[in-house]
Structure 1
Amino acid sequence: MATSLKNRNFLKLLDYTPAEIQYLIDLAINLKAAKKSGNEKQTLVGKNIALIFEKSSTRTRCAFEVAAFDQGAQVTYIGPSGSQIGHKESMKDTARVLGRMYDGIEYRGYGQNIVEELGEFAGVPVWNGLTNEFHPTQILADLMTMLEHAPGKTLPELSFAYLGDARNNMGNSLMVGAAKMGMDIRLVAPKSFWPDEALVTQCREIASVTGARITLTEDVEEGVYDVDFLYTDVWVSMGEPKEAWAERVSLMTPYQINQQVITATRNPEVKFMHCLPAFHNEHTTV
């Protein structure tokens, strides 16, 4: 039976079946190939999309804008200081107003409850471009990238280790994505930085159906052995105080991906991934 996601919100991967997630990945692969060959067909001509960014962005904004333009849609960017959201107007009222003007709304901001409320009252599809808890569009891109760089393999045949702050939106989302798609994921981090136990339990229940393998460990060598991909993210996320840096760096340094960790995989074909932005030195701020 054909998959139809018309008018569906995309708020978190937990809302989607493995078949639906695979459909979105396959669609992205096909659209990318069509653009490269010059044969992309515009299916959103005459549509208007609002991009709400309560947190600043480079890649997420550009990705949504380019995708919309390529498909023929018009875009309105609403930045952190460009609206009344959260100041003079509730998200519920904002959702109802924008839903009458736009055919779809992307939101990047704070609590997951905010984008859930937007999705409840907008009356048009709402897409999560990042919240404190989840980053589902990034995971679609990551899973697509893994398939592109592991030709001949399917997602259930792939393994990857995520090192660092595993309790953030990327740790959460990668775990959910791996559980849904039957993958082998190892979250390698200090125990105090593991995902919330309730989410881990939920993902293990999903894994019992999909065949996914979920490992949480503080042991780097155990976690990275024979993986296809190594993945990390910044150790301090957007909105966290600068004072957190010193303690975080001390805790996370053993989980830095370096040549020693790459060698520990014992896989000469292992690939490294980072969702960016990356912290290089003291002149880079988050």
Structure 2
Amino acid sequence: MTQSLQLSSNISGPRLGDTFLAGDLSSILAHASRLKAAWRAGSAGDRPLLGRNIALLRPRPPEPDLPLLQRAALELGARVAHVRLGPPIEPTGTKFRGLAQMLGRLYDAIDCAELAPAEVRMIEQHAGVPVYDDLEGPGHPARALADLMALRDHGCKPGPNTPIAFFGDPLAVRAKNFFEFARREGFSLRLPDPSGAVSDAAFSVDAVDPDHWVLRAPTGPIDAAECAQNHRFALQAMLLATMPA
């Protein structure tokens, strides 16, 4: 699987790309939960990324709506800049290497969206700062972490007594991440039988529409706004786990 989060080798902290360590996952889930609890209590605390600069590297102008990643970073105190790429540059050439080095001098972290994997790897190699491959995107581990967090907050617990039924393509990147993380945390997952049914599953994930997952608890569908909040906290936990102190 293509790396979803890449870190320079000289950066301390967990490497959370295509090899996800169970301890790292548990730590980030716990941190996201603490951020959510502080937000609910109205005591978000200090701004640990105050003075840090994050670049959102994009091939097109920013959308009118504030990206979730930008909001998450701003709440932590970071400054966020949209950096629009110019004409394509050969990723193995000296111009691209110089661009990556310049970005590393100007910013403390870089998020790349809609870039080829080779381009992201070259930026990561030469920037010398954390480089993320579309941290906010549906294929990034942060989204699957937020999904699992939402189900857990509504009473889904590890073990065989609260299985999660999954409807949709289990081979999609987001689904693969969700299955891996859920299993590492000890949750029970079930796929439908040939008739399309799953028995004895109080919790479910409806991923038939890959762009709009619906998570359900025994009390009914989990509110989409709450899922978005969880995603924001997961992004913040990822940033705090990977940006050097």
TM range (shorter): 0.5 to 0.7
Per-residue CA deviations over 1:58-105 (Å, capped at 9, x if unaligned) read 8x9632111211111100123xxx2137x1352862433312211111
CA distance in 2 between counterparts of 1:177 and 1:163 reads 17
Q: 2:47 aligned with 1:71, yes or no?
A: no
| Residue deviations 1:230-249 (CA, integer Å, cap 9, x gap) | 23153589xxxxxxxxxxxx
Tell me: CA distance 1:236–1:24, structure 2 relative to 1, closer, same or farther (3 Å). Answer: closer
Q: Helix, strand or coil for the counterpart of 1:26?
A: helix
Any idea what the Cα deviations from partners look like across 1:32-58, whole Å, max 9, x if unmatched? Answer: 222331342111111000123459998
Q: Which has the higher helix share?
A: 1
Instruction: Indicate how the Cα distance of structure 1 residues 74 and 61 shifts in structure 2: closer, same or farther if over 3 A, else same.
Output: same
Q: 1:123 to 1:18 in 2, by over 3 A?
A: same
Q: Normalised by the size of structure 1, how large is the TM-score? A: 0.58
Secondary structure in 2 matching 1:15: coil
Number of the residue aligned with 1:83: 85
User: Which residue in 2 is equivalent to 1:221?
Assistant: 197
* Aligned counterparts of 1:83 and 1:150: Cα–Cα separation in 2: 44
Quote how far apart the aligned CAs of 1:187 are.
4.6
1:19 and 2:20 correspond: no
Q: 1:23 to 1:101 in 2, by over 3 A?
A: same
Aligned partner of 1:247 in structure 2 is none
Aligned residues: percent identity?
A: 24
**Equivalent position to 1:108, from 109, 113, 121:** 113
C-alpha separation between the residues in 1 aligned to 2:62 and 2:171? 21
Partners of 1:133 and 1:168 within 8 A in 2: no
1:186 — aligned with what? 190
Cα distance, 1:114–1:173 mapped onto 2, change above 3 Å: farther
Q: Structure 2 vs 1, CA of residues 45 and 236 (structure 1 numbering), >3 Å: closer, same or farther?
A: closer
User: Do the aligned residues in 1 keep the contact of 2:137 with 2:143 (CA within 8 Å)?
Assistant: no
User: Matched residue pairs, number?
Assistant: 209
Aligned to 2:207: 232
2:102 is paired with a residue whose SS is helix
SS at match of 2:197: helix
Q: Which residue of 2 aligns with 1:33?
A: 37
* Greater RCO (Cα-Cα under 8 Å, separation 6 or more): 2
2:152 corresponding residue in structure 1: 147
- One-letter amino acid matched to 1:74: R
| Residues 1:123 and 2:128 are matched in the alignment | yes
Distance 2:188 2:16 in 1: 24
Separation of aligned partners in 1, 2:195 and 2:122: 39
Relative to structure 1, the CA distance from residue 175 to residue 57 in structure 2 (aligned partners, 3 Å threshold; closer, same or farther) is farther
| Displacement after TM superposition at 1:179 (Å) | 3.1
* Counterpart code for 2:81: T
Q: Deviations over 1:165-224 (max 9, x none)?
A: 333221222122223322222355xxxxxxxxxxxxxxxxxxxxxxxxxxxx654214x6
Q: Hey, what does 1:248 align to over in structure 2?
A: none
Unaligned runs of 5+ in 2: 1-10, 229-245
* SS of the residue 2:170 aligns to: coil
* 1:10 CA displacement: 5.8
Contact 1:10 1:125 in 2 (8 A): no
Opposite residue 175 of structure 2, the aligned amino acid is G
Does the 8 Å contact 1:47/1:73 carry over to 2?
Answer: yes
Of the three residues 49, 55, 70, the one matched with 2:54 is 49
Secondary structure in 2 aligned to 1:234? coil
Q: CA RMSD in A?
A: 3.9
Q: What CA distance in whole angstroms lies between the structure 2 residues aligned with 1:179 and 1:10?
A: 19
Alpha-carbon deviation of 1:144?
A: 1.6
Separation (CA, whole Å) in 1 of partners of 2:74 and 2:121: 26
Within the candidate set 142, 157, 168, 1:137 is matched to 142
Q: Show the counterpart of 1:244.
A: none
